[in-house]
Amino acid sequence: MESDQSKYPYPFKTQPSEEIARGWSESRVFKQEPGWILKVTYRGWRNSLKQLAENKSDYEFFKEKLGDYIPETQFVRGTDERGRGVNIVRQKEIVGQTLAKYPHEKFEQNIEAQKNLVDLFNKLIKMWDVDGRIPDLVVFGGHPWNTPNIMIEDDTNKVYLVDTSASKRFQSKDAPFIYRKLSESVVKNMKVFVEKYKSKN
Q: For residue 26, give the nearest of 89, 70, 76 by alpha carbon.
A: 89
Beta pairing partners, 73: 91
State which amino acid sits at residue 187: V
The total of other beta-carbon atoms located within 10 Å of residue 16's CB is 8
Q: What's the pLDDT at 14?
A: 59
Task: Indicate which CATH number applies to the domain containing 86.
Answer: 3.30.200.20
Asked if 42 contacts 50 with a C-beta cutoff of 8 angstroms, the reply is no
Q: Report the helix count and the strand count for the chain, using DSSP H and E.
A: 4, 9
What per-residue confidence (pLDDT) applies to 15?
59
Cα four-point dihedral sign 55, 186, 109, 197:
positive
Q: What is the pTM of this model?
A: 0.88
- State whether 59 and 153 are in the same domain: no
Which helix (H) or strand (E) covers residue 38, if one does?
Answer: strand 36-41
Question: Of 73, 92, 111, which closes a domain?
Answer: 92
Are 55 and 72 found together in one domain?
A: yes
Short-list 53, 54, 24, 20, CA closest to 37? 20
182 contacts: CB under 8 Å, gap ≥ 6: 138, 142
For residue 127, how many C-alpha atoms fall within 13 Å in the half-sphere facing its CB?
21
Task: Look at residues 31, 61, 92 and tell me which one is the last residue of a structural domain.
Answer: 92
Instruction: State whether 12 and 104 are in the same domain.
Output: no
Report the alpha-carbon distance of residue 117 to residue 111 in Å, rounded. 10
| Residues 21, 48 share a domain | yes
CB 193 within 8 A of CB 116: no
Q: How far is residue 61's CA from residue 152's CA, in Å, rounded to a whole number?
A: 22
pLDDT of the chain along its 201 residues, tens only? 344 544 443 445 655 567 777 765 567 888 887 899 999 988 777 888 999 999 999 999 999 999 999 999 999 998 887 788 899 999 999 999 999 999 999 999 999 999 999 999 999 999 999 999 999 998 866 788 889 999 999 999 999 999 998 888 999 999 999 999 999 999 999 999 999 998 777
pLDDT for position 43: 76
- Print the domain residue range for 14: 5-92
